[in-house]
Amino acid sequence: MADLATPMSIRVAATLGLVEHAGNAGATAERLAALTGTSAPALGRLLDHLVTVGVFEHDARSGRFRPTSLGTQMDEVRLLLDINAAGGRAELAFVELLGTVTTGAPAYPRRYGREFWADLDAEPELRRTFDAQMNWRFETQASQIAERFDWGRFPEILDVGGGNGMVLEAILRAHPGVRGRVLDLPPSAEAAADRFAAAGLGDRAGAVAGSFFEPLPAGADAYLLCDILHDWDDEHARAILAECRRAAAPDGTVLVIEAVRGQGVDTTVDLFMLMCFGGRERTIAELTDLAADLGLTPRGSAPVSDGRTVLELAVTA
């Protein structure tokens, strides 16, 4: 459980694309080193370990390394493992976990010198791979979210921190009477606008670049926070809810969609949220508590996809 050799070997293999380079026919260490610009003797030793753990098999006669079915599966989640992509890079900050446990502060800024979102702003490739990872995780859930909740009750939705618009696109496709906008940081807002135009939804969908710590576009019927609050500590999560409350129509609603602690969320995700952002997975009661004193009254919660729950908070005086 405690060695780092295997997880790092797998991540380096994914980063170098060894499974893809080897292909079904396999390749020698020398060939793979030439293709990846690495040291053949060192790569050979990495491959030996990947054989030990069942990711590759080695044909002694040809000297070729071939991916096993485990190796092929690994390649399918390469986006999560690649240490140059946003998710894999964030995972490496776990080496600073002792600092997080000692101080309670996130490890990511300690390791990389700036917070996660600032890092994404500074590095377009990190932003691109993060948005791709967000879309990958919702490949089946986006349509579930769109179909398992009555979005038709809300003529105008603001998807706050809506990324590159995947969830909102699914909602608008499933509910032709609904209009919506994404608000997110500039590169994602731009990507959302492109997505809506490409989907032919330009007349019902738009995107606004901005921060959810600043005043939000006012008057929407629903302010959606999908996987937003868990990225933040209580103080910041409350500030986001307060901005939604301030901007909402008098009879508006704030909708929180998250994986809920106690309903299938595992401790790995919770620890990642702490380590990366200082955030946390919360129970429904903890989410509801965040909204206390903000003029938001819980109206109920229900499962909305395989793994996520929607919590409705009604605007009250």
Ligand X SMILES: C[S@@+](CC[C@H](N)C(=O)[O-])C[C@H]1O[C@@H](n2cnc3c(N)ncnc32)[C@H](O)[C@@H]1O
Please name the residues in contact with 165: beta carbons below 8 A apart, sequence gap of 6 or more: 159, 182, 191, 192, 193, 195, 196, 205, 207
Question: What is the nearest approach in angstroms of ligand X to the Cβ of residue 74?
Answer: 24
Q: How many CB atoms lie within 10 A of CB 24?
A: 7
Residue 134 in contact with ligand X, rule: CB under 6 A: yes
Nearer to ligand X, 129 or 188 (CB): 188
Residue 141 in contact with ligand X, rule: CB under 6 A: no
For residues 230 and 211, the answer to whether their CB atoms sit within 8 Å is no
Residue 107 in contact with ligand X, rule: CB under 6 A: no
Write the DSSP symbol of residue 217. P
First to last CA, the chain: 52
**Stretches 73-81, 161-169, 273-281, 295-303: which one binds ligand X (CB under 6 A)?**
161-169
Nearer to ligand X, 184 or 281 (CB): 184
Question: What is the nearest approach in angstroms of ligand X to the Cβ of residue 180?
Answer: 12
**Stretches 158-166, 173-181, 281-289, 297-305: which one binds ligand X (CB under 6 A)?**
158-166
Coil vs helix vs strand at 128: helix
Residue 140 in contact with ligand X, rule: CB under 6 A: no
Nearer to ligand X, 56 or 196 (CB): 196
**Stretches 36-44, 59-67, 162-170, 190-198: which one binds ligand X (CB under 6 A)?**
162-170
Select which of 21, 175, 230, 236 is catalytic.
230
Question: What is the nearest approach in angstroms of ligand X to the Cβ of residue 240?
Answer: 8
Structure tokens at 306: 């395989």
Residue 108 in contact with ligand X, rule: CB under 6 A: no
Question: What is the nearest approach in angstroms of ligand X to the Cβ of residue 70?
Answer: 29
Report the distance separating Cα 253 and Cα 39, nearest Å.
58
Coil vs helix vs strand at 61: coil
For β-strands 205-209 and 296-305, DSSP reports them as unpaired
- Residue 230 annotated among the catalytic residues of the structure: yes
Residues 18, 158, 167, 265: which binds ligand X (CB under 6 A)?
A: 167
Residues 213, 218, 300, 306: which binds ligand X (CB under 6 A)?
A: 213
Residue 162 in contact with ligand X, rule: CB under 6 A: yes
Write out the binding residues for ligand X, residues 171-190 only, by CB under 6 A.
Answer: 184-185, 188
Extended strands (E) in the chain:
56-59, 64-67, 156-160, 179-184, 205-209, 222-226, 253-258, 296-305, 308-315
Q: In what order do the strands lie in the sheet with 296-305?
A: 205-209, 179-184, 156-160, 222-226, 253-258, 308-315, 296-305
Report the distance separating Cα 119 and Cα 126, nearest Å.
8
Structure tokens at 85: 């992509």
Nearer to ligand X, 216 or 291 (CB): 216
Residues 49, 115, 117, 239: which binds ligand X (CB under 6 A)?
A: 117
Report the DSSP beta bridge partners of residue 179. 156
Residue type, position 126, single letter: L
Residue 243 in contact with ligand X, rule: CB under 6 A: no
Size of the site for ligand X (CB under 6 A): 18
Residue 168 in contact with ligand X, rule: CB under 6 A: no
Write out the binding residues for ligand X, residues 214-233 only, by CB under 6 A.
Answer: 226-228, 231
The residues annotated with a catalytic role in the active site are 230
**Residues near ligand X, by CB under 6 A:** 117, 134, 138, 161-163, 166-167, 184-185, 188, 211-213, 226-228, 231
